[in-house]
């Protein structure tokens, strides 16, 4: 067990341990511990950093439910503190939103309207950053295929093929 934090150095030491481990059960557990410690410190910016690590770990270890919760927290933080993230971090968070959106079908408890709203939000944010509709069309294609909407799938496929990839 990691000692209770007396200062942020404890958390930074934990980050270093996490970064030296491959994705797996131990790394995931330490990443969850980092989230807990950041919350105990009451430091939202560290909470964001820890949850970003958790999103990567959860995605790479097949724990989409943990990724979904961490993403929701990070999206809320980024929307409340847009100045806290640079452009690269905003784009990286969008990439994680893509992971969450494509994981939507894994959660039957998520209403289709909620997944659609997440996809619409992803598309809006991509356009606001000046990206092409390539990723938007791809994610839309996956959702349309999942829901069996052949017309939407065909439209998304055509848009996906017609648009170039972003750098």
- Chain length of the chain: 167
pLDDT at 145: 94
Task: Summarize pLDDT for 98-136 with one digit per residue, the tens.
Answer: 898 888 888 888 898 988 898 999 999 988 888 889 989
Quick check: helix, strand or coil at residue 98? Answer: helix
Express as a percent the part of the chain with pLDDT over 70: 95
Burial string for 91-129 (b: 16+ CB within 10 Å, else e) reads: eebbebbbbbbbbbeeeeeeeeeebeebbeebbebbeee
Task: Examine the domain organization and report whether 81 and 28 are in the same domain.
Answer: yes
Q: CA–CA separation, 136 vs 119, rounded Å?
A: 8
- pLDDT reading at 38 higher than 80: yes
Q: How many domains does the chain have?
A: 2
What pTM does this model have? 0.85
Which pair of tokens denotes residue 92?
A: 């990286």
Task: Examine the domain organization and report whether 76 and 38 are in the same domain.
Answer: yes
Q: CA–CA separation, 29 vs 73, rounded Å?
A: 18
Task: Summarize pLDDT for 134-161 with one digit per residue, the tens.
Answer: 989 999 999 999 999 999 999 999 999 9
Task: Examine the domain organization and report whether 120 and 69 are in the same domain.
Answer: no
Please state the rounded mean pLDDT for residues 84-88: 91
Q: Flag whether 90 is in a domain.
A: no
Task: Examine the domain organization and report whether 12 and 74 are in the same domain.
Answer: yes
Task: Examine the domain organization and report whether 81 and 118 are in the same domain.
Answer: no
Q: Flag whether 20 is in a domain.
A: yes
In which domain, by residue range, is 153 found?
110-167
Q: Flag whether 10 is in a domain.
A: yes
């Amino acid at each position: 067990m990691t000692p209770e934090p007396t200062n942020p150095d404890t958390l930074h030491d934990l980050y270093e341990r996490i970064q030296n481990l491959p994705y797996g059960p131990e790394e995931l557990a330490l990443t969850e511990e980092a989230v807990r410690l950041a919350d105990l410190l009451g430091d939202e910016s560290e909470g964001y950093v820890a949850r970003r690590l958790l999103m990567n770990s959860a995605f790479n270890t097949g724990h989409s439910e943990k990724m979904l919760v961490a993403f929701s927290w990070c999206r809320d933080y980024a929307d409340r503190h847009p100045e806290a993230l640079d452009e690269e971090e905003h784009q990286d968070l969008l990439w994680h939103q893509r992971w969450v959106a494509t994981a939507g079908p894994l959660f039957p408890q998520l209403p289709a309207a909620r997944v659609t709203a997440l996809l619409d939000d992803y598309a809006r944010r991509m356009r606001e950053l000046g990206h092409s509709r390539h990723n938007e069309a791809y994610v839309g294609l996956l959702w349309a295929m999942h829901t069996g909407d052949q017309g939407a799938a065909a439209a998304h496929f055509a848009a996906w093929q017609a648009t170039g990839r972003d750098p």
